[in-house]
Amino acid sequence: MIYSAFSAGACGEPPWRAQLLGYSWGRVRQPGELVHLRAQDSPAGPSSHPLARTMETQRWSPHPYTRDHYPPYQTAAALLEWLFVERIDGTVLVLEPTCAFVAPVAEEVRPGQARGTPWADQPRGEGPFGLGPGFDFLDEVCVDRTLSPPAVRLPVLIHATELRKLVARWLELMSIIRAETAGLPSGPRADADKLAYAIAAAEARIPHAAIDLGLANDELLLPSATGETKWDPELHGPWESLHPAAAAGGPGPQLRGLLSEFVERRAQGLELSLLRPQRQRGVREGKILGSMFLEIPGRQDTVSLNSSGAAIWEVCDGTRSLAEVNQELEARFEMPPGSLRADVEVVIKRLERIGALRLTPA
């Protein structure tokens, strides 16, 4: 089992990031489960894709004790909470919310087989952990400074038991590095999450092989050769059209292409063609005086559906994608295209939440 886990929604990220990640996860038929670790009291609204299972976690950016605003705190803290609440046992693909899948990551790993994205620019030199000057403060907080940290960064593929060993130390070292480098505009301060993860992995004696995991990732700015910014993902308006062919070269072309595809398909309601609502086995249905009732295995109560809910339930027979469910209901009730989409999604998500339906890649 591969758990693709990411944290988003806590630090003001545009919601299209998480939705694009979810769309790309379904698009490549990534095996396993997509887990969205969403900070509590995040702004209302859809911040993930319907394929993702969302878990509410504590907010950690800004840092609850130092008040330092640094989005990677949220990733480490959310993973820590999730791993100790659910006690999962399997492979975890740790993602950043700026990632998108361009190919499935199908390899499951055992302890001792962790994989990470290469970090070519990791600091090197004379100093603790071979990180070079400027890291002497680690002498006071690390016992064995002779260890060699792996030159990897997120995304990371790692067994849950090993991630559980290092994630608390990762979070602690991140805050230490940020505090000790306060006032520096870049360098160690900006890379505190990468440095902290590598040191925590070294201290826990967890080796990492550096490999390309086949994931697209963007940078904050994508400048052209003349220095003019062709596309800034931080300024991308929700669901604005963009033209990857007209953008300058540089990091992120695959992500721009995926976002362009997603924006166009979303405008037509076709991003939902990746999802197929299917009835869970064992659900029994009955009708009394025009109302439908569902008996769901594991629930003591009986769930009632009004006429609209019953119509949606009847169409979710496992043969139609979510987009086709919408089209069927619009035709049946003679409604304009797209007019029922929001209401249908609310009902289907409720039926999924109570265990009557499941959403699977079409």
Least confident of 32-46, 64-78, 229-243: 229-243
Amino acid at 49: H
The whole-number pLDDT of residue 230 equals: 53
> Checking DSSP bridges between strand 275-279 and strand 357-361, what pairing results, if any?
antiparallel
Please indicate, yes or no, whether residues 192 and 79 belong to a single structural domain of this protein. Answer: yes
pLDDT in tens, 317-340: 888 888 888 889 989 988 887 788
- Whether 209 and 222 map to the same domain: the answer is no
Residue 245 and residue 113 share a domain: no
Q: How many percent of the chain have pLDDT more than 90?
A: 38
Report pLDDT for 221.
33
What's the angle, vertex CA 306, arms to CA 305 and CA 307, rounded to 5? 120
Q: Phi, psi (5° rounding) for residue 284?
A: -110, 145
Would you place residue 345 in the very low, low, confident or very high pLDDT band (cuts 50, 70, 90)? Answer: confident
- Bridge pairing between strands 208-210 and 91-94: unpaired
Distance CA 45, CA 345 (A): 13
pLDDT at 205: 97
Cβ atoms within 10 Å, residue 205: 11
Do residues 210 and 223 share a domain?
no
Taking the alpha carbons at both ends of the chain, their separation in whole angstroms is 20
Q: Select from 260, 251, 222 the least CA-distant residue to 117.
A: 251
- Please give the average per-residue pLDDT across 207-224, as a whole number: 68
Do 73 and 113 belong to one domain?
yes
Same domain, 6 and 155: yes
Assess whether 118 and 222 both reside in one domain.
no
Question: Does 150 share its domain with 103?
Answer: yes
What is the domain count for the chain?
A: 3
Distance, in Å, from the CA atom of 85 to the CA atom of 74, rounded to the nearest integer, reads 16
DSSP state of 60: -
Q: What pLDDT, on a 0 to 100 scale, did the predictor assign at position 86?
A: 92
Same domain for 284 and 248, yes or no, is no
pLDDT beyond 80 at 91: yes
Nearest Cα to 250, choosing from 227, 274, 276, 223? 223
- Give me the CATH number covering residue 38: 3.90.550.10
Nearest to 94 by CA among 173, 169, 168, 153: 153
Domain enclosing residue 329, as ranges: 274-361
**CATH number of the domain within which 297 lies:** 3.90.930.60
Is the pLDDT assigned to residue 224 strictly greater than 70?
Answer: no
Cβ–Cβ under 8 Å, residues 79 and 38:
no
**pLDDT-based confidence at 45, cuts 50/70/90?**
very low
Long-range (24+ apart) CB contacts under 8 A made by 132-136 are 134/181, 134/187, 134/188, 135/188
Q: Are residues 115 and 126 in the same domain?
A: yes
8 & 108 share domain: yes
Helical H runs in 103-243? 160-180, 192-203
Residue 157 pLDDT > 90, yes or no?
yes
Q: Per-residue pLDDT for 185 more than 80?
A: no
Q: What is the pLDDT of residues 267-277, one digit of tens each?
A: 776 666 677 88
Q: From CA 103, how far away is CA 105, in angstroms rounded?
A: 7
Say if residues 285 and 313 touch (Cβ distance below 8 Å): yes
Where do we find the tokens 């002779």?
Answer: 146
Instruction: List % helix, strand, coil for the chain (3-state, nearest 5).
Output: 35, 20, 45
Q: Summarize the confidence of residues 188-194 as an average pLDDT.
A: 90
Mean pLDDT taken over the chain: 83
Please, which pLDDT band fits residue 144 given cuts at 50, 70 and 90? Answer: very high
> Residue 227: pLDDT band by 50, 70, 90 thresholds?
very low
pLDDT digits (tens, 9 = 90+) for 94-134: 998 888 888 899 999 999 999 999 998 899 998 899 998 88
Q: Between 186 and 281, whose confidence is greater? A: 281
Q: 272 or 18: which carries more pLDDT confidence?
A: 18
Residue 4's DSSP bridge partners are 34, 93
